[in-house]
Structure 1
């Protein structure tokens, strides 16, 4: 199919480049090929999007209160039909283009025997004939004039005879050829025919007028005959599209009224079915707007106003001006460029959706380039479908949708730690989300929107995920699979997003449990290290007092510095600062200092009695350092030998360096303090704000490498009031005091008050960017 699409521009506009002369008022009868190709371009451009515009009005008709209980079958069939919308648009465009090809190369069209056609196809053909008769009556005068002008055009092409390639009969046949094999129920087929007639009535007035003007300007004039026709017959009354509804497809009955009480469970259980609680659709225009809907509309209006002001003030991101339209003449003002209809842009995006997303992946590496890439890709897709970009343009709402999606995806990559391997995954989702924004822009303001929830789930799966474990790799693979599913299946049916989210959510539930375990381990490890550092600090204070005075022998000083200090730390950790065992351990140190004084004074008997009394405590102290009973007794003997000599030299000993330490989760990600938090310059007000943070609050942290990451307060230390910050995988990112966090806030590396979900945070960043750009801050 894609090869056929790529070939369409050649058959649509290939002959237009034969001559360098523009087609317009200067075209003459010597340019019949170019005139015919311009007619083809106009016809394909204006008629090509009609099939895609049929579904929503038909859906609303089926969901109206007047519908009966049997309409759920028609709604289910319509749901299937919409999934193939892109192929129907393509087939219809090919039928329109084929009419012009047959004009240049007349051939006998295939006619099937009535007995070989299925009954539902007979109904289709009869309804098509009736539609052609109605349109023939309505457009009798322009068709009559066009007929004689086409005779002149055929003569210039040296053709004996040729029919009108956009006659009502041809347009009816195009519809039958497009939807005839879709197996539509009778009621749904009738609604489709009636809606097709309304869409044709909206388009044909302008199209027939432009075709006649084109032929007349090119020299194929039928004014005389046209005037004669006006004198010969009164003008046919102009009927509104609604007045013709009852004349189309008389064999097809009106759809029965819809009654949700009679919907079978297999249909009602489907999330995309109107009977399902999760299904939402546009309310009828006459229905009063609920307060919640009014709030959403007001919020969207404000967002669009900001966006349009941003496009006006931010020149590099404004839509590029297109070249002069085809047929432009310097002595005449250029004709206005037609705005593409939303359904046309959606059809273009649907055809481009399966293509590789390399351009979007490259654009995501450079902020501000994604919108340009989207516009360029959609413009190229329009060219493939025969829509001349020099004569068409995006509407303001379509520009809004493109820019909002581009800014959203760029904000996600700017504010979340997404690895390079996730870039292609997100690039694949760009066009589906552009389509969602075109037909359902409530995604940007409704937290429960299916597309929004899916993007949150994918970001949760990808953020900080380096695929280091089998579980992380499985999560990345599942996220990639659901993105491919959205690309393959999404065609204006939000149920695809619901199903993809449910598929990914199963793994995310397991991931969240692992994250909770990681957070618990990180909190316990941090708490244990803080208790150890606190015990070491207290033991060092006690030791310092024993080493400063009086002078001690090396044996006693070494015993106090190593085994006794270690024994103090262990006792503090196991029994606490108020325990009896700690008091006994401190008393052991005091007794050894006193024994050293006795030895220096030569009071041998008292020293011997003191050492005998201290032997069990000394052996226990040595054993706490990992020595067995024999090694402990050997250490006791060495201490006794040195104290037995009164002349052993004694001196004051310096305290050893403190081994209080902390291990940062990532090198360079933590502030290292010299002298405590009181010595660093910080804002006391911000520090007070940091002390009020509670576990579960989200923040945005820029690490030492300049990468933004989502962090959450997982735990607050009861000893030091430091905060443990973890990422979405539960891994420790930073442990810092409130004063340290205040320094990070002042340096612009920490943002307090971040949103919990990635989509909300990206939208907040998007709004801040727009506010700043339009000068509201």
Structure 2
């Protein structure tokens, strides 16, 4: 234990003053770098500690014993208690590093084990220190390898700022080595076991080291603005290999040990039980690929016998491979541009490996027999299988598959340059491909009539093909510009989508109001013989008044109750009166009925002349009723058919229908009120065509009910036409599903049953929401496992010679 740990609340004021005095001498530019970097890095450290609780809690839940579970819970409490102290100590260590750097006193951080305590017998402490040292060394080496280009530029610019002194990765105050050492010093305050500390280191790698890219980018941008080496460019020396991560097994330089493939480069302290899922998948892939080379009779793709590691044969460096790929890329660009069909793209994908090996042979020195290393060949096969999957991906339209197939060579170059392509979801090349695929998933000819999306995706593909040599920043820049395009399109599409949902919601509210109004009116008139004028008033203007009242006021309003009371009283007033009391009540009621009716007619904008005509008819009717004269009565259907007779024949004359016969057709017209629709169709207004009834436990019915808003579905019509649409809105009234295209325009709406029937028949197919890269890796793992399980051991390596992929699934 250090003294600081024994007294965690005591701060060395002399040390703090030393830090302050040294940092006061920083130049303006160095202060700018310090301010930018430490603000961002401290934020990343904060994010780290916000995720420690969840990580330890998950591990505690999966713990195999109570003792291990207790250790994780104790670790959670310790981190909560000392988090602020550790964050402050880390900030002080990082600030101190800047001060020492300004004074030229910052010593390079060497990847060795920290000094041990003077107690020689404490071998357990030695083991803990060794574990921590390996963890820090491994994460630093991995970060330096990934960030070598931007870190090199920061080093060169910092060297200019301090007057020309040497700055490298080991003494850069914001380099992974210095930051890793500062974090190691800070978390010595945690009184936890080594397993918990290694988990914290893993989270530091995931949230801090992995987040340094934008830190270095911003520092470089600000220094360029200040005029510090605006043209500096990192050039990898000829024949140089990227630095191997710490913990790499030693053997043939630049090559993994037999049976390990490139998996040997995984962090030494990585624990699959607690690690990142992407790393687990990547490890599985490399292991499956490496298992093909376990036989002694393995034959390389070049046709030369040799061991799995290629011992005894000079290996081609990544630079040689990249040179061959660049030549191949330039030669094939014109041919790929003409490969618009999926079959053309598939043929190109399968030829790339063979053409690459031929090109490598041309570049090789005639005096030496050289071959592609097993690890590089696995990478070639893996990228080949990735693009084979893309060309078969159900999520992508054929036109998009053909476009993306052209990217195989650039992505093969990325995979050779940076092994993190398959292991890190944050890799810019991976994110770009996922972004292009996500946009391409929504593409269809119908929704992209102006070809804006297709041309924009094509531009991204051509930019990568034209500009990418060895600068992975091309993918980052193209991702930024493509994301801007997608964001601007999404904003316009969201507005259109909202309007489509609002319009559908409005129509459904209207239809629901019409159904309710029709039910209320028919409850009062459907089984009664009433005078035609009463039927006409209630089934037409008053039904429309009920609809309007329901939409504006709702069913709980006084106006709605008054409107229904009028209907009841109006029906009663139209029935024969046999007693004096009934006559007296009717005479008293008539003024109230007239007042309410005029109000309702005015609300629905009934024409004044029609109001006068109606009032005259009602006056004549009530006069005859009070005088005891016989009044003609009819059913609601008879009156409605007669009222529509002058209108419907003209519209139906083309079909040979006329008169009352044409008016009785069930198809509603724009002149019909909700009551007329129900009466003429003998059902509810605006009903859907009947669909097949599915059992409640039907798998497709369950699948439809589990669909989430935002899910994309491809609809296939009877003629084979395809349209892709997103589930935009689920109606709370009818439970209908509204689908829109990528522009936010309505494509269709479906009931749950209708959509389930289409899914069962295959005319509606749900598209996966998992990113393209993740889907591809899962499929490749399944394919390799199937090939390894289904093939005999001696025959397995033979599949390594197939172009574009190594283990062809049966």
Q: TM-score, normalised by structure 1?
A: 0.52
Preserved contact between residue 417 and residue 710 of structure 1 (Cα < 8 Å): no
Match of 1:348 among 308, 324, 328: 324
Q: Identify the residue that residue 674 of structure 1 maps to in structure 2.
A: 690
For the structure 1 residues 592 and 260, does the alpha-carbon distance in structure 2 shift closer, same or farther, using more than 3 Å as the test? Answer: closer
Distance 1:68 1:416, change over 3 A: closer
Q: CA deviation at 1:456?
A: 2.5
Contact 1:604 1:644 (8 Å CA) reproduced: no
Counterpart of 2:594?
615
1-structure distance, mates of 2:565, 2:696:
43
Change (3 A) 1:721 1:557: same
Q: For 1:271 and 1:486, how far apart are their aligned partners in 2?
A: 22
The answer for the alignment partner of 1:718 in structure 2 is 732
Alpha-carbon separation, structure 2, partners of 1:527 and 1:62? 52
- Do the aligned partners of 1:360 and 1:427 also contact (CA within 8 Å) in 2? no
Alpha-carbon spacing, 1:262–1:518, altered in 2? closer, same or farther (3 Å): closer
Alpha-carbon distance, 1:522 to partner: 3.1
> 1:565: how far off?
1.9
* CA offsets 1:190-232 (integer angstroms, 9 cap, x no match): xxxxxxxxxxxxxxxxxxxxxxxxxxxxxxxxxxxxxxxxxxx
- Assess, with a 3 A threshold, how the Cα gap between structure 1 residues 774 and 69 changes in structure 2: closer, same or farther: closer
Q: Is the 8 A contact 1:375 1:402 kept in 2?
A: yes
1:286-325 matches, within 5 Å, as 289=268, 291=270, 298-305=280-287
Distance 1:423 1:742 in 2: 28
Q: Is the 8 A contact 1:401 1:437 kept in 2?
A: yes
Aligned partners of 1:371 and 1:403 also within 8 Å: no
Does the 8 Å CA contact 1:543/1:560 hold for their aligned counterparts?
Answer: yes
Written as runs of structure 1 = structure 2, the 5 A alignment for 1:669-708 is 674=690, 679-683=693-697, 695=709, 698=711, 703-704=716-717
1:624-773 equivalence runs, <5 A: 624-641=603-620, 646-654=629-637, 655-657=679-681, 660-661=685-686, 674=690, 679-683=693-697, 695=709, 698=711, 703-704=716-717, 714-726=728-740, 728-732=742-746, 735-736=749-750, 754-755=768-769, 757-764=771-778, 767=781
What SS does the aligned partner of 1:432 have?
helix
Q: Deviations over 1:569-612 (max 9, x none)?
A: 22111111111111122222223322321389998887666444
Matching of residue 538 in structure 1 with residue 509 in structure 2: no
Q: Confirm or deny that 1:575 pairs with 2:553.
A: yes
Trace 1:36-51 onto structure 2 (pairs within 5 A).
Answer: none
CA contact (8 A) 1:699 1:750 kept: no
Q: Is the 8 A contact 2:496 2:745 kept in 1?
A: yes
Other-structure match for 1:85: none
Find the structure with the greater CA-based Rg: 1
For the pair 1:515 / 2:487, whether they are aligned, the reply is: no
Change (3 A) 1:320 1:567: farther
Residues 255-285 of structure 1: CA distance to partner in whole angstroms, max 9, x if unpaired? xxxx9999892379999979xxxxx975445
1:155-202, Cα deviation, whole Å (9 max, x unpaired) = xxxxxxxxxxxxxxxxxxxxxxxxxxxxxxxx99xxxxxxxxxxxxxx
Task: Give the match's secondary structure for 2:555.
Answer: coil
Quote the Cα distance in structure 2 between the aligned partners of 1:292 and 1:652: 82
SS at match of 2:576: helix
Q: Displacement of 1:567 after TM fit?
A: 1.8
- Work out the CA distance in 2 between the residues paired with 1:605 and 1:660: 40
SS in structure 2 at match of 1:481? helix
Distance (whole Å) between structure 2 residues aligned to residue 759 and residue 61 of structure 1 = 20
C-alpha distance in 1, partners of 2:726/2:543? 37
CA contact (8 A) 1:414 1:708 kept: no
Distance 1:308 1:290, change over 3 A: closer
Please give the per-residue CA displacement for 1:111-149, whole angstroms capped at 9, x wherever unaligned.
Answer: xxxxxxxxxxxxxxxxxxxxxxxxxxxxxxxxxxxxxxx
Is contact 2:446-2:723 (8 Å) kept? no
Following the alignment from structure 1 to structure 2, what is the Cα–Cα distance between the partners of residues 639 and 454?
Answer: 74
Q: Deviations over 1:424-454 (max 9, x none)?
A: 5424323212222333343233211110111
Unaligned 5+ runs, structure 2: 1-140, 161-166, 169-215, 236-240, 249-266, 305-311, 638-678, 791-808
Contact residue 552 and residue 651 of structure 1 kept, 8 A:
yes
Q: Tell me the distance in 2 between the aligned counterparts of 1:483 and 1:407.
A: 19
Alignment length (residue pairs): 504
Q: 1:479 aligns with which of 437, 457, 467?
A: 457
Structure-2 separation of matches of 1:292 and 1:516 = 43
Give the match for residue 190 of structure 2.
none
